Structure 1
């Protein structure tokens, strides 16, 4: 995956969307075409895809009009039909119609009194869907500066704001997920980054959205007294909040941890989510106090590319069952920065690029 960077100075969502759509028109056009082909490959009918995309776009317009206007401005500037960009923005909501499509991501955050938050995440997805990703910095209408990583068409994925709040993103799957077309979960991540100055703010924003697909936003903050974290598990059945362990570590992969919501977990049986969680649990004591690059390598536990958190596509499997670690990323809430490497954590020894 090639990482593109952009910086906007406007707080106006239409102006920002027009800027992005003009500068990256080929990327937006290519991404929507790749996703529409992928949905077809998964057996999701074209009319179902468009229906979910349009319902999710309407839900977004009611919940966050600025984000809907930004997405429309991107589509218009890139000369792509609006519903097609909306389909990428609602790709998790559409994938809820094909539960086997759940992706594999692993997150670890360490917090505590008198220390800044430390984090690491692998983002695992299909490499054929994301030839390019976006690192974007912009000011929000709420008065915060935001830095984030995302795909071309999704509102946000992983990021940090100038209030010292960071966010990691992992997909989940729940029996209550449906094709109703709720607020896109990527847009919830975006609004948290634009508005939240604390975990309590993030929880308020997340709980205000009606969703049709599940995900977990692991949010964390660094302030004068130290750092805190919580995983906000979102599903149509409700919001669960998972706190760090006594040693300050908060881990999450792709299964529910909330005691009530976990009963409705529908993660596919062949997911490696529990193995990856166990791996992070086994190595967590060796991850604190390291540079982002050293933390990424240490997260492999000496196993290198064979570590459970490292995904390499298996060409013997059907394409839709091939997973790759496309990004290793750490969020620095104290310095308002993202440290990124476009690949597996075992490959990050040479260093992550600071954005």
Structure 2
């Protein structure tokens, strides 16, 4: 699986039609996602699939308020794949479900390394955004590349877990987003928005300020870091904590992030991801050191080398499963993505970038 591109699905039309195509053509991958999270919800939080689905339904009013198109698209995925609405909804709120049973314990929700290089720092003058996405290796078979042509919204290219409508990618307005898991011990009360739904709102945006608004207009139900970039030569790091957020601007031409809070504004947060993933500090320091050692402007090949780095193997930037860990806690790099926002293209490597070639893709 790691040596082949993920299935590419082209979808267009109304939100429901986009979802139906997604569900129908990725039915096999949706099944993998559902089986992965059935097991995870129970292993991590002792939450049954039925209970997870019932909890997921509680987010419908907030999602409808945020953008009613999204529930239509989720319904389309359900109808196209043959699964129930609440089952597809459970995938879209999978981070929130895991946290329900583990609110005060360190919870792993992906150990990723993300970056943005602005046009001032790159050899080709483009803003380049991307990451290694580290997660459960069983979910690799549930991932797809989704090419969406929308009505009255930007077109989107994203790499996502089948069934989830918002993930890592870029759009025709020249903006993109990458994701790092963050967590705290504080549960946000009241009306909250799932982080993957917020990611879709970001990908439906037209500029960076719209992206920030898309993920802060309603409190997120769990913490997250979004690395965002624009073809206008800008990059930002957006940390979202419990009912609070902060943004750092790439004034030095680049930003990097892993899995702990960085901005001083959120230093009061009890950061539980840094406990679950102490390698976060090493990965961040390592990529920063590699960047500082460059004696030329950054190239795509430089970034590929950074993403394949094995310093402190196996908990490295290019992460490999550690057989010494319990099976449920093992993580590996599912894919590596490098997005050129000026050119509207991406370099994509399924699996570990140390042993899988990047394919240049343009939609």
TM-score using structure 2 length: 0.88
CA distance, structure 2, for counterparts of residue 23 and residue 302 of structure 1: 36
CA distance, structure 1, for counterparts of residue 172 and residue 114 of structure 2: 21
Q: Indicate the residue corresponding to 1:34 in structure 2.
A: 36
SS class of match (1:310): coil
Q: Structure 1 49/262 Cα, relative in aligned 2: closer, same or farther at 3 Å?
A: farther
Cα deviation digits, residues 231-273 of structure 1 (max 9, x gap): 12123321211222x4311111111122122321222524111
SS class of match (1:217): strand
Q: Structure 1 290/134 Cα, relative in aligned 2: closer, same or farther at 3 Å?
A: same
Q: Structure 1 276/96 Cα, relative in aligned 2: closer, same or farther at 3 Å?
A: same
Cα deviation digits, residues 32-73 of structure 1 (max 9, x gap): 122112111113322652343122233212212111111111
Q: Indicate the residue corresponding to 2:335 in structure 1.
A: 327
CA distance, structure 2, for counterparts of residue 101 and residue 179 of structure 1: 22
- Bigger Cα displacement from structure 2, 265-274 vs 48-57: 48-57
Q: Indicate the residue corresponding to 2:268 in structure 1.
A: 263
SS class of match (1:34): helix
Residue 247 of structure 1: which of 252, 256, 271 is its match?
Answer: 252
Cα deviation digits, residues 250-305 of structure 1 (max 9, x gap): 11111112212232122252411111111111111356745535421244457596
Q: Structure 1 289/343 Cα, relative in aligned 2: closer, same or farther at 3 Å?
A: farther
Q: Indicate the residue corresponding to 1:5 in structure 2.
A: 8
Cα deviation digits, residues 300-344 of structure 1 (max 9, x gap): 457596672121112232111101011111011011122110122
Residue 22 of structure 1: which of 21, 24, 33 is its match?
Answer: 24
Q: Structure 1 79/173 Cα, relative in aligned 2: closer, same or farther at 3 Å?
A: same
- Bigger Cα displacement from structure 2, 83-92 vs 40-49: 40-49
CA distance, structure 1, for counterparts of residue 350 and residue 307 of structure 2: 16
Q: Structure 1 249/290 Cα, relative in aligned 2: closer, same or farther at 3 Å?
A: closer
Q: Where do 5+ consecutive residues of structure 1 fail to align?
A: none
CA distance, structure 1, for counterparts of residue 252 and residue 25 of structure 2: 45
Aligned residues of 2:274 and 2:280 also touching (Cα < 8 A): no
CA distance, structure 2, for counterparts of residue 109 and residue 313 of structure 1: 26
Aligned residues of 2:107 and 2:272 also touching (Cα < 8 A): no
Q: Structure 1 118/77 Cα, relative in aligned 2: closer, same or farther at 3 Å?
A: closer
Q: Structure 1 291/111 Cα, relative in aligned 2: closer, same or farther at 3 Å?
A: closer
Matched, 1:193 2:203: yes
Matched, 1:281 2:293: no
Q: Indicate the residue corresponding to 2:109 in structure 1.
A: 102
SS class of match (1:173): coil
Cα deviation digits, residues 169-201 of structure 1 (max 9, x gap): 11110233358783221111111112x222111
Residue 296 of structure 1: which of 304, 322, 339 is its match?
Answer: 304
Q: Where do 5+ consecutive residues of structure 2 fail to align?
A: none
SS class of match (2:322): coil
Could you tell me how far 1:74 is from its partner in structure 2?
0.8
Q: Indicate the residue corresponding to 1:184 in structure 2.
A: 194
Could you tell me how far 1:159 is from its partner in structure 2?
0.8
Q: Indicate the residue corresponding to 2:79 in structure 1.
A: 76
Q: Structure 1 208/152 Cα, relative in aligned 2: closer, same or farther at 3 Å?
A: same
Q: Indicate the residue corresponding to 1:214 in structure 2.
A: 223
Q: Indicate the residue corresponding to 1:237 in structure 2.
A: 243
SS class of match (1:278): helix
Q: Indicate the residue corresponding to 2:56 in structure 1.
A: 53
CA distance, structure 2, for counterparts of residue 42 and residue 314 of structure 1: 19
Q: Indicate the residue corresponding to 2:181 in structure 1.
A: 171
- Bigger Cα displacement from structure 2, 112-121 vs 312-321: 112-121
SS class of match (2:355): helix
Could you tell me how far 1:142 is from its partner in structure 2?
3.3
Q: Indicate the residue corresponding to 1:131 in structure 2.
A: 141
